[in-house]
Amino acid sequence: MANRVRSADEWAVLFSSPSAQEREKALEGLGEALCAEDEALRERTGQSVLEALVRPGAAVGPLLSALQSAWWPPPVRLADAAMQAVTAALATVEVASPAVEDAALVLANVCRVAPGQCAALEAAFGHARASVRRAAAGAVGRVGAAAAPLLPRLVPMLQDEEDVAGAALESLGALASLAPDVATPALLEQVRTGEGARLYLALTALRSLVEDARRKGAPLPSLPGLEGALHRAVQGGESAIQVEALTLLGLTGPASPAVLERVWGRLQDTNPSVAACAAVALLRLDAPSQAAVALLEFQLRAVEAPAQQESALSALEDVEPATLVQARELLKRVADAATGPVRAAVKGLLERLG
């Protein structure tokens, strides 16, 4: 009896055990069953977990964690049951709970195998519980093209409470290239008005859109008022935000004298990544580049300061050859003097120039 293999129902119930050892065994046992090669076993186990999710006192967090980490692909036959059970379980947890992120991944996986369930995601946008709205909004960006029609519904959710709005913004950014006419104005507004994580997410999403257009040789998206918004981001904020703002500014220029002055000022920034991105932005903007080139050469030669070297290489690695050619001579000097990985990386940049 001691060696009897537990059923999926028993593993699910054990998640509510007061014993940490029993709960760990349950997690391992359920995980193995949820990703088993035996499709029937995967389906039975998934059904048991979904039923356990909606029982009073269910261990919602561990059950959702097991589903998101091991249950792939979810059986299409269980798609309806999965959407209903996960939504019901979410209504019992707080919006900031880690379980909400696990639930978003489960919902996304279900919609990926059963795209028709995107309608259930859309319905969840209006749920009374913020935890449900957050998970539904966060799932959209992970589903892919099948969820693109939901993007217009995400825009009003940017006015929801912070956790929900953040999930909506991430999904909007993730799928922005599928509906740029919808996503771009909303992202631009977040750059104008957002702070902290919202501002950072919006900047990275817009940069991805611009880089995608440049790679394809397509016209850049219309970004009215972007320069003024970036002026604010370049002037202050966290270093990661300044890096994104400087990069986007260089990709979308030209820039006004006032903004260029701010960029030149960032060459003196104590954060080497900010300084390096400012230098690359000036190169891209065809601004007087002697100071920018000098800064990049100084960083690349900083043998005793690897962070300086890494910052310069990171800023230069995605620069297009037409801009990189302005730094050809400095790259040659560094390649002649450097050793090890830095020399190899710089030689790689030179090879791109032909």
- Is 322 domain-assigned? no
Taking the C-alpha atoms of residue 193 and residue 199, their distance in angstroms, rounded to an integer, is 8
Which pLDDT value is given to residue 308?
A: 96
Which pLDDT value is given to residue 247?
A: 96
Which pLDDT value is given to residue 1?
A: 38
Residue tagged 């604010």 (tokens): 232
Do 78 and 46 form a contact (C-beta atoms < 8 A)? Answer: yes
Taking the C-alpha atoms of residue 283 and residue 289, their distance in angstroms, rounded to an integer, is 6
The total number of structural domains in the chain stands at: 1
* Tokens representing residue 13 in the block: 């119930």
Q: What CA–CA distances, in Å, run from 76 to 104, 171, 212?
A: 17, 24, 34
Do 319 and 283 form a contact (C-beta atoms < 8 A)? Answer: yes
Do 209 and 184 form a contact (C-beta atoms < 8 A)? Answer: yes
Which pLDDT value is given to residue 3?
A: 43
- Is 120 domain-assigned? no
Which pLDDT value is given to residue 4?
A: 46
- For 219, residues 6+ apart whose C-beta sits below 8 A from its C-beta are 213
Which pLDDT value is given to residue 150?
A: 98
Which pLDDT value is given to residue 287?
A: 86
Do 78 and 50 form a contact (C-beta atoms < 8 A)? Answer: yes
pTM as predicted: 0.88
Q: 271-290, pLDDT tens digit by residue?
A: 999 999 999 999 999 887 78
- Is 8 domain-assigned? yes
- Is 84 domain-assigned? yes
- For 122, residues 6+ apart whose C-beta sits below 8 A from its C-beta are 136, 150, 153
Segments of the chain with pLDDT less than 50: 1-4
- Is 69 domain-assigned? yes
User: Could you tell me which of 72, 7, 13 has the C-alpha nearest to residue 44?
Assistant: 7
Q: 41-77, pLDDT tens digit by residue?
A: 889 889 988 998 998 888 899 889 999 999 999 999 9
- Is 50 domain-assigned? yes
Residue tagged 């008005």 (tokens): 193
- 3-class SS at 222? coil
Q: What CA–CA distances, in Å, run from 105 to 5, 6, 135, 158, 197?
A: 29, 27, 8, 20, 21
- Is 14 domain-assigned? yes
**Phi and psi for 115 in degrees, rounded to 5?**
-55, -25
CB atoms within 10 A of CB 162: 14
- Is 329 domain-assigned? no
Segments forming the whole domain that contains residue 27: 1-91
Which pLDDT value is given to residue 11?
A: 67
3-state helix, strand, coil in the chain (%, to 5): 75, 0, 25
Taking the C-alpha atoms of residue 20 and residue 53, their distance in angstroms, rounded to an integer, is 19
What letter represents residue 17's amino acid?
Answer: S
